[in-house]
Structures are given as structure tokens and as C-alpha cells.
Amino acid sequence: MGKVYLVGAGPGNEGLITLKGMELLKQCDAVIYDRLVSPQLLNCLKKDCHMVYVGKEAGNHSMKQADINKLLIEYAKTYKMVVRLKGGDPFVFGRGGEEAQELISHGIPFEVVPGVTSAIAVPVAAGIPVTHRGISQSFHVITGHTMTGTELDLEQYQILAKLGGTLIFLMGLASIDKIVDKLLQSGKSADTPVAVISNGTTANQITVRGRLATIVEVVKKEQLPSPAIIVIGETAKLNYKSVNKINYQAISKTASLITIGITGTELMRKKLREKLEDEGYQVLDVCDMKIVETAESNILRECLKRIDTYNWLLFTSQNAIRLFFTKMNDLGIDHRRLSRIKFAVIGSGSKDELRKHGYLADFIPNKYTTRDLAYQFSEIVANGEKVLIPRARQGSKELLEVLTKKEIAYQEIPFYDVVGQLSSQLDNDLINDIDCFVFASASGVNSFFKELNKMNLALSLKNKIACIGKVTSEAVIKFNNPVDIIANECDVNGLVSRINDYMNIYGG
């Protein structure tokens, strides 16, 4: 018999799951997940993990709660490790208590992993603290509907109306007119501030504000979609949103939201996601790139043993720098043997990565492109100096062509490659929903399109393509796809800047 983990996925944004919850997702054999769970979280599952969707929404239940309970029992007897992934926190109106009781009755071991409840996180994402000194000393969380469909009676609303803290209604959007009416009948001031937040903590977030007397009209005018949270009280007029890192769109439903699909290693995707979300884009992981050593890695091993015979180390990526120093450390090479070697890097990202390992770049081109690196670097290398270039298998040919033309003595070692795995969520419908695909390397391009072909999928004419540089864009063109956006500088900042320029002119 296996073990079941009731895991809270958080309020919507995939970054708000707990570390323990994420680790369990990576290890589990089966996952049973809800509608409000971010699809991005499913990208971290093992390839052979069995997934079951049991999402519920008003008027459209994928599976009844009794059937979900039965499924948990069945899967616990079939799989060693089962995750029941629930939006928010399992025990905050998530019916996690019912599922726990069912597991207990069948003698099945389980563990509850708390999640960040939307009752607190969603107001925060809208800049609203649920408590504030001198304004609200308490907050009260109320469900907008119950399992039986019964509602709070007027006497209960009279109690709520007298409370001095913040009232937070979950799942109450469909009943907002009744909630407001009963609070007004119970003596709550018509001037009480109210905020309604739809799709909280996600890039689709919409926040509208008003007073108790006006909020129903505002919500109807904006046609807010569920899920939404209603915040009633003096803190609802506050807006500390500027402290949030993510630039949530607190605007009307009709605002244009651009969806961007990103590819790359975990580190590269993290950097892209942070920059793009800061600009207000919705970001989806579409291809996870993994670094693998090539047979030439053995050649690098031998070169490292005589590393002090080289005059320059030239790096064209952050990955190359990280892997180079990892290899040095694994072999026990004394870093002091690099004391007479100079370093050349392609851009600011690689310069910063080199600094992490205790070295300053001796050369960086004034424009972060492979072409500028090649030509400018060849002008400063002295006669007789030897250059070692440890890099990816699918590196730029232009770099080597220029160095050869300039009669620079170099040794290139393609000691690693990058292979990709597409998101398990990627299908034709999702592809059509993505406005722009972003590629950060030629190897990423090759892996993405090869895997896409295996799945009989293809990009549509609607999809735009953004590339970090010329080499990457040439790789895209080889797969018969046009490139719309090419970064002038080969780093994340340059890429995001070009995406912004393009979207400001042409839109999604």
C-alpha cells in the first residue's frame, strides 16, 4: 500500500507552492489535481507519472467528491506515492478534511502539506493587506457557497456586519449581489471599501475596486471571470502593489494579455520568466533543456591537465563557464594554474557568471553578439597566443571562421550538448494560445522542433518567434519557420527588450 500526500498548490501562481510540495510532485508516481492548480506545476512530474484531472467548477464537475475519494483509495493501493494536488490550502474550503477522513477510514497512511491560501495571497497580489495596524486587527474568511447550496442567514450576516476586521469571501462571485445586499440590510455602511480580484496571483489577474453600494455594478460591467475573491473592509482601499515583484495586470478584462512560451535550461527559464513577468506577460514553460556531456568531454579532461599552456579561455555562454569549472573541480585541478590565463566572454551574463567563480573578464565585446566577439577578440590576441574554447556542440560556426581567417591559434572543444523535453501540457490548442515562442540557443531550437515533429505538432501562423541571436535564429529558419524578433545583444535583457519593442508595435 502506498502513501497519499494532500498537497496545497497555493493560490494560482506556480511559484507559490511550498518547497516540500514541489519535491513531492517531482517524486510522485501519480497525481490527482484540481482545476485551480497551475498547469506549470505538472511540468515537473516524472515522465511516467500518472495524471488524473478531477477539476470542479460551478455547473461543470469533472468528478464528484465521492468519486474523488474512491479514486484516492484505489490509487493508494496501486501506486507507492500519490499526490492529491489541491488549489490553495487543502484544509481551507478545499474539502481536504473529507479526503483525510476517507483515507483514515480505510487505514491508508497520508500526510497533509499546507499550501498558501488564496484568502491571504490573492489580496496581497492586489496590494491589499488583510490586516493593518490601526485599520484592521482581524480578518474573517467566509465561503461564498456551501456543499449543500445553503446560504448564510440574515442573522449570521448581522454578526459579520458588526465585525471590525476584513471580510474575505471565497468562491462568492456568483453570489456577490446577495452578499452585498445582506450586508447592507445588516447595517454595513454603503461606503465600505470593496475589492474583487479575479484569477489572483496569475498573469490574468484583474482587480476592480468600489464601495459596497457600487461594487456589484462594477463587477457586472467588467464581466469578471471566476475564480474571484471578494475583500470587504477598510484595507480594501489600500494598494501596496508596488512592492510585488510580478507586474499583475490590475486592469479591465478587455486588456490584451500576451502569452509567451519559453524554452531553455531551468536557470535560463527562471531568468526569462522573472524578466518577462516583470513586464506583465503571461509566461509558460514549453521545453525544458538538459545539459549532457559529449564524447569530447574526455578531450577537455586532457586539456585541463595542461591548462597552463593556453593564454586565453574564451566562453560564449554561462553554461560553458559553469560546466568548465565543475569539470576543473571534479578533476582536482588547482585554480592557481589559471593565474596567467586571460578570459574572454560574450556578454554581461557570462561576465557575471565568471565573476561567481572568482575571475574577472579581460575582454568583452562592446556589442554582445558572436560576430562582434569574433572580430573584436581577434584584434587583441597577440601572435603565438593559444586560445581554448570550451563550448556547446552547436556553437556558432562564424566564430571559428573568423578566428581561422585571422590566423588565431585556437582549440575548440564541444564538450556538452543540450537536449530538450517538451511540456506534457503542450498540444495544438495550447500552441494556438501562445503568442510568442522564445529560444535562447540553437541547441534549444533543434531539440524543440525535433520533439515537436515526433508529437505531430506544429507552430501556427499566429505564433511569433523570438531568438537571442543570429545563430539561434538561423537554427529556427532551418526548420522552415520565420523569425520575428532577434535580440541585438545576446543576453536576457537584450532579448526581453526586443520582445517589448516588437509587442509595443505589433501586439500579440
DSSP code, position 42: G
pLDDT digits (tens, 9 = 90+) for 56-77: 655 555 688 999 999 999 999 9
pLDDT digits (tens, 9 = 90+) for 451-477: 899 989 999 888 999 998 888 898 999
CA gap 115, 34 in Å, rounded = 14
Q: Do domains 120-243 and 292-418 have the same CATH topology?
A: no
Peptide linkage before 227 cis (omega within 30 of 0)? yes
Q: Which amino acid is at 236?
A: A
Q: Are strands 282-293 and 409-422 parallel, antiparallel or unpaired?
A: antiparallel
Which listed residue (89, 171, 188, 503) is catalytic? 171
Q: CATH number of 3-116: 3.40.50.720, 3.40.1010.10, 3.30.70.20, 3.40.30.10?
A: 3.40.1010.10
pLDDT digits (tens, 9 = 90+) for 88-113: 999 999 899 999 999 999 999 999 99
Which listed residue (3, 29, 51, 56) is catalytic? 56
- Which of 7-11, 17-21, 422-426 is predicted with the least confidence, judged by mean pLDDT? 422-426
171 is catalytic: yes
Residue 88 contacts residue 34 (beta carbons within 8 Å):
no
In the chain, where are the structural domains located?
3-116, 120-243, 266-289+419-492+499-506, 292-418
In a 3-state reduction of DSSP, which class is residue 441?
A: coil
pLDDT computed for residue 250 by the predictor: 38
34 is catalytic: yes
> What are the backbone dihedrals phi and psi of residue 338, each rounded to the nearest 5 degrees, phi first?
-95, 5
pLDDT computed for residue 56 by the predictor: 63
- Residue 245's pLDDT band (boundaries 50, 70, 90)? very low
pLDDT digits (tens, 9 = 90+) for 31-51: 999 988 988 898 889 889 999
E strands within 346-385?
Answer: none
CA gap 185, 164 in Å, rounded = 17
CA atoms within 13 A on the CB side of 118: 31
CA atoms within 13 A on the CB side of 86: 28
CA gap 275, 492 in Å, rounded = 8
In a 3-state reduction of DSSP, which class is residue 249?
A: coil
Give the predicted TM-score (pTM) of the model. Answer: 0.61
Of 56, 51, 54, the residue nearest 82 (C-alpha): 51
pLDDT digits (tens, 9 = 90+) for 130-188: 999 888 999 999 987 654 445 677 888 999 999 889 999 999 999 999 999 999 999 99
Q: Which residues pair with 3 in a beta bridge?
A: 81
In a 3-state reduction of DSSP, which class is residue 228?
A: strand
Cell 492586489, residue located:
126
DSSP code, position 363: B
Q: Over the chain, what is the mean pLDDT?
A: 89
Q: How far is CA 54 from the centre of its chain?
A: 23
Q: Which residues contact 16 (CB under 8 A, 6 or more apart)?
A: 10, 116, 121, 201
Does 30 or 153 have the greater pLDDT score? 30
Cell 581554448, residue located:
388
Domain 120-243, CATH homologous superfamily name and number: Tetrapyrrole methylase, C-terminal domain (3.30.950.10)
Residue 182 contacts residue 152 (beta carbons within 8 Å):
yes
For 266-289+419-492+499-506, give the CATH class: alpha beta
Task: Output the nine-digit C-alpha cell for 66.
Answer: 465521492
pLDDT digits (tens, 9 = 90+) for 272-296: 988 898 887 888 889 988 888 999 9
pLDDT digits (tens, 9 = 90+) for 372-389: 899 999 999 999 999 999
User: Regarding the domain delimited by 292-418, which CATH topology (the fold level of the hierarchy) does it fall under?
Assistant: Rossmann fold (3.40.50)
Task: Output the nine-digit C-alpha cell for 415.
Answer: 564538450
DSSP secondary structure of 79-94: -SEEEEEESB-TTSSS
